[in-house]
Structure 1
Amino acid sequence: MRELIVLCSAYSISLFYRGMIAVIAPEISADLALDEAMLGVLASSFFLSFAVAQIPTGIALDRFGGRITIAGFMWFAVFGTWLFSVATTYYEALLAQVLIGVGCAPVFVGIMLFIGRRFSPQRFAYVTALVLAVGSLGDLMGTTPLAMLAQWLGWRSSLQLIMLVPALISCLFLFAMESDRPEVSQETLVRMLKGMAKICSIRSLWTVMPMFLASYAVLMAIRGLWSGPYLADIFAASATQRGFILMAMSVSMAVGTFLLGLADRRFQQTKWVVLCTSMLTLLALMLLAYYPARGSGFAMGCFIVIGLFGYNYPLLMSHSRTFLSPQYYGRGMAVLTAISMIGVAIIQSGSGWLMEWATSAKLSSVEQYRMLFVLLAGVLATAMLAYSFSRREGSADQPTIK
C-alpha cells in the first residue's frame, strides 16, 4: 500500500504537467510572443518526448526496476520545470517541455506493471481506474489552484515552487520504496525494439490502435491546451474563472475514470463500454461545434461530459491485454502508451496549425473554435468506426519471445 501511494503521487505530478499549459496559456503566449501554431507544438512536445522516451525507460525499468528508474528520471522534470520558469524564448520553453516529458515517461508504465504483477486480468481495469482516479488529484491541482497561484506569484515563480514536488517524489522513491531491481535482465535496445515491432504486428490490435491514437488525444486537446484559450477568447474568462471551469472538468475525469472501471467490471463488455462512452463524448463535441459561443456555463457542461466519458484509456488497455501473452505485458503497455502520447502530440500540434491558419484567414474567434471542435469530433468518430470492427477478446495471435 505504501508503494502504491508513492506511485500515485508520481502519477499525480505527471498529470499536472500534462494539463498545466491550458490554464496559463494566454499568459505564456503573451510573455513569450507565441502564436497558435507555436502554442500547439509547445504543448505537444511533452507528449512526443514522453512517447519517444518509452524505449529507454522500458529498458531501464527492466534492468533497474521502478524505484531507481522513476527516481532518476524525475530529475529531468525538475530541471525542465526550472528551465521553463526562466525561459525567455520559444525554444527554451520547448526544450523545457521535452525534459519534463522525459522525466514523467516511466511513471505510467511503472504503475501498470505494478498493478499487473499484483492483480488478476479480471481486476486490472478496475484497479487501474481506481489508481488513476486517485492520481487525478494532480490534474485538479493544475486548474484553480494553479490559476490562483499564478495570479498571486506570476506563472514563472509558480513553476519555480512547483519544481520542488518532483524533487520530493524522487526522494520518496529512493527512501520510501523497497528495491524492485530484477536479479537477471536480458533486455537490450535491439531486443526491446524487436519486441515492440512484434506488438505492432498483432493484427487484433490494429483496430484498437486508432482509439489509442485518438481518444486521449481529443481529451487532452481540450483539457491540456485549448480549453483555456477558448474560454479567454470567447467568454473573456479570467485565469481564476478558467481554473474553476477546468477544475469541474478534472473532477468529472476523476469520477468518470472510476465509474468506467466499475461499468467494465459489472458488464464485462469492455468494447461496448468504450463505444458507448465515446459516443457521449462525440455528442458533447458536436454540441460545442454547433454552439461554440452559447455561454460559459454551456461550455462547462460539455467539458464535464467530455471529462466524464472521454478518459477510457484504462479500458482500452484492459481490452488490449487480452491479445498479449503475459511476458509481453510490459512492452505492450509501453508501445500502446507511446501510441497514445504520439496521438496527443499530433492532434495538439495539428490543431495549433489549424488555428494559426484560421487566424491568418481572418476568421472570427467563434468560427476558429467551431473548426477546432469539428476537427476533434471527426478524429474521434473515425477512430470509433475502426474500433467497432475490433474483436472482443482473443489469444490466438499472441506473440512469444524468442
Structure 2
Amino acid sequence: MHSAPAQASRLPPAPASHRDTWTMLLALTTAFALSQSWRSVAALMAAPLQSDFGLSPQALGLFAGAFHFAFGAMQLFMGIGIDLHGVRRTVLTAFPVAIAGSAVSAMAGSYGMLVVGQVLIGIGCAPAFLVCTVFIARNMRAERFAAISGITLGLGGIGMLLTSTPLAWLIEASSWRMGFWVLGAMAALSWLLIWALVHEPAPAEHNIHPKESVRQALAGFGALFTLPHTLGIMLLACVGYASFIALRGLWLGPLLMERHGFSLVQSGNVALVMSLASLFGPPLFGWLDPGPLHRRRWITGLTLLLAALFAAFAMTHNTVIDVVGPVVIGLLSGFMVLQYADVRAAYPAAMTGRAMAVFTMAIFLGVAAVQWFTGLVASVAASNGAEPYTAVLAAIGLLLALGALAFIALPQPPRGGN
C-alpha cells in the first residue's frame, strides 16, 4: 500500500531552475563575503590590538596570518567533504566553527587566545569560496565559468566593505571586540540563509560511481602533484592574492597612520575605496578573459605589472601615491579570476573539484606565509632603523616577480580546455 509513495521518495529531485541556481549561489556567496570580512580585519584592528596587547609587527603578522594558515590547511579536507557529502552539508557543518571563533576573539584576554580565535575562524571559513567555485563548475556552463566566478568574487568582496569605514566607526565608538561580535552575528544569519535556500542532490543521486573512501580521496589529491605543471600554478597562487590581502588586510592602516598621520576613520575610508575597486576587478577580468590560448600570457603580464606597482609604491612616500596606489592594486587584484579559469582548463574534468581545492589551499597558505614573512621583514627593518613599510612593499613586489618567473619557466599544462 505504501510502495508508490516510497518509490516516489527515492526519485531524484527535479533539476534546479536557472533562477533557483542563482539564488543558491547568492546564498553561498554570503558566507564567502563574511570570510572576506574576517580575513581583512587586521588592517583596522592593528593599532588597537597593538595598544591592548603590546604586539610587535611580527606578532601582528602572525595574528593576521593565523586565519589564512588554518583556512588554507583545511582546503583538502573541505574538498573531500564536498566530494563525499556535497556543498550544502559541508558549509553548514563548518561555518558554525567560524561563528564560535569570532566569539572567542571578541572575549580574548590574551594574545594567544586571539590567535586561537583566528584559527577557529579560518577553519570555519575554509569551504566558503570553494563551495562557490564547485557549485559554479557543477551547475553553470563551462564557457561561463570565468565570468560567473568573477561576479561571485566581486559580490564576496562586499565583505571587505564592512571592514573599512563601517568597522573603523564601530571600533572608535566601542572597541575592536564589538567588531568580532557583529561579524559573528552576521555569520549566523548567513548560516540560516544557506540552510533555508541551498539544496542539492545527494552525491549518490547524481553519481553512478561508488562513493570514495577518505583514503581514496586523499590519493586523488596526491595525483595532482604528479603532474608537472602543478608546481608553477601553485607557486604563483602562493603570492598573487597574498599581495593584495597583505596590503589591504594588514599593512594599509598602519602605513597611512604612521607615514601620513591619518586617523583610523581616514584610513578606513582609503580601505573602503580600495575594497570598492576590488569588487569591480573580478567581473572585469572575467569579462575580458582572452581564453585558453592567451590567458596564461595575461596572467604573467598582470602579475609583473602588480610587482612593478608594489616596487613603485615602496620607493615613494607621497601621500597621493600612498592613497591612489592601493586603489589601483585593488582593481588589478581581480585578475585572480583568470587563474581559477586557468586551473579549470589545466586539469581533466574529473579532477576539477580537487584541483580547485589544492589551488585555493595554495592561495591561502601563501597569504599566511606572506603575512608572517612581511611581519618579519618589518621587524628586521625597524630594528635596523629603516622604514618598515618600504621594506614590506618591496618584499611583496619581489615575491610577485618570482611567482611570475616560476609560472612561465616551469612546465606548462597541455593545450586545450576552456
SS at the partner of 2:194? helix
What pairs with 1:49-88 in structure 2 (closer than 5 Å)?
Answer: 49-88=70-109
1:118 positional shift: 2.0
Gaps of 5+ in 2: 1-21
What pairs with 1:177-192 in structure 2 (closer than 5 Å)?
Answer: 177-183=198-204, 186-192=211-217
1:224 maps onto 2:245 in alignment: no
Superposition RMSD on alpha carbons, in Å?
1.9
Picking from 268, 284, 287, the partner of 1:262 is: 287
1:266 positional shift: 7.5
1:294 matched residue in structure 2: 318
1:385 maps onto 2:401 in alignment: no
1:208 matched residue in structure 2: 233
User: Per-residue displacement from partner, 1:242-294 (whole Å, max 9, x unpaired)?
Assistant: 11101111111111111111111589621122123223212221111110x21
2:5 matched residue in structure 1: none
1:251 maps onto 2:271 in alignment: no
2:66 matched residue in structure 1: 45
SS at the partner of 2:346? coil
1:392 positional shift: 7.0
Residue identity over aligned pairs, in percent, reads 27
Give the partner amino acid of 1:298: I
Give the partner amino acid of 1:72: T
User: Per-residue displacement from partner, 1:14-63 (whole Å, max 9, x unpaired)?
Assistant: 11111111112111121122111111011111111011111322222222
User: Per-residue displacement from partner, 1:325-373 (whole Å, max 9, x unpaired)?
Assistant: 1111111111111011111111110111121222222x14xx2211111
2:389 matched residue in structure 1: 369
Query: In the superposition, relative to structure 1, how do residues 119 and 341 fare at CA in structure 2: closer, same or farther (>3 Å)?
Result: same
1:134 positional shift: 1.4
What pairs with 1:96-115 in structure 2 (closer than 5 Å)?
Answer: 96-115=117-136
Q: Is the 8 A contact 2:76 2:361 kept in 1?
A: no
**Partner Cα distance (1:129, 1:380) in 2:** 21
- Structure exhibiting the larger radius of gyration computed from Cα positions: 2
1:196 matched residue in structure 2: 221
1:175 maps onto 2:175 in alignment: no
TM-score by length of 2: 0.89
1:158 maps onto 2:183 in alignment: no
1:396 positional shift: 8.8
Give the partner amino acid of 1:338: M
Q: Is the 8 A contact 2:382 2:388 kept in 1?
A: yes
SS at the partner of 2:127? helix
Give the partner amino acid of 1:28: L
SS at the partner of 1:207? helix
Q: Which 4+ residue blocks in structure 1 deviate beyond 6 angstroms?
A: none
SS at the partner of 2:239? helix
**Partner Cα distance (1:112, 1:267) in 2:** 18
1:393 positional shift: 5.3
Gaps of 5+ in 1: 398-402
Q: Is the 8 A contact 2:242 2:367 kept in 1?
A: yes
Q: Is the 8 A contact 1:270 1:392 kept in 2?
A: no
| More displaced 10-residue stretch of structure 1: 21-30 or 308-317 | 308-317
User: Per-residue displacement from partner, 1:273-332 (whole Å, max 9, x unpaired)?
Assistant: 2123223212221111110x211x221211111111123222112112222111111111
Picking from 259, 265, 271, the partner of 2:296 is: 271
Give the partner amino acid of 1:376: I
User: Per-residue displacement from partner, 1:93-113 (whole Å, max 9, x unpaired)?
Assistant: 010000000110011111011
Give the partner amino acid of 1:337: T
TM-score by length of 1: 0.93
**Partner Cα distance (2:75, 2:372) in 1:** 20
Give the partner amino acid of 1:284: L
What pairs with 1:109-128 in structure 2 (closer than 5 Å)?
Answer: 109-128=130-149
**Partner Cα distance (1:257, 1:390) in 2:** 26
Q: Is the 8 A contact 1:109 1:334 kept in 2?
A: yes
2:50 matched residue in structure 1: 29
**Partner Cα distance (2:290, 2:29) in 1:** 22
**Partner Cα distance (1:304, 1:188) in 2:** 46
**Partner Cα distance (2:135, 2:268) in 1:** 33
SS at the partner of 1:333? helix
Give the partner amino acid of 2:392: L
Picking from 333, 347, 351, the partner of 1:328 is: 351
Picking from 295, 310, 313, the partner of 1:285 is: 310
What pairs with 1:232-251 in structure 2 (closer than 5 Å)?
Answer: 232-251=257-276
Q: How many residues align?
A: 392
Q: Is the 8 A contact 2:229 2:412 kept in 1?
A: no
**Partner Cα distance (2:236, 2:142) in 1:** 21
**Partner Cα distance (2:199, 2:218) in 1:** 29
**Partner Cα distance (1:39, 1:66) in 2:** 34
Query: In the superposition, relative to structure 1, how do residues 20 and 268 fare at CA in structure 2: closer, same or farther (>3 Å)?
Result: farther
Q: Is the 8 A contact 1:24 1:239 kept in 2?
A: no
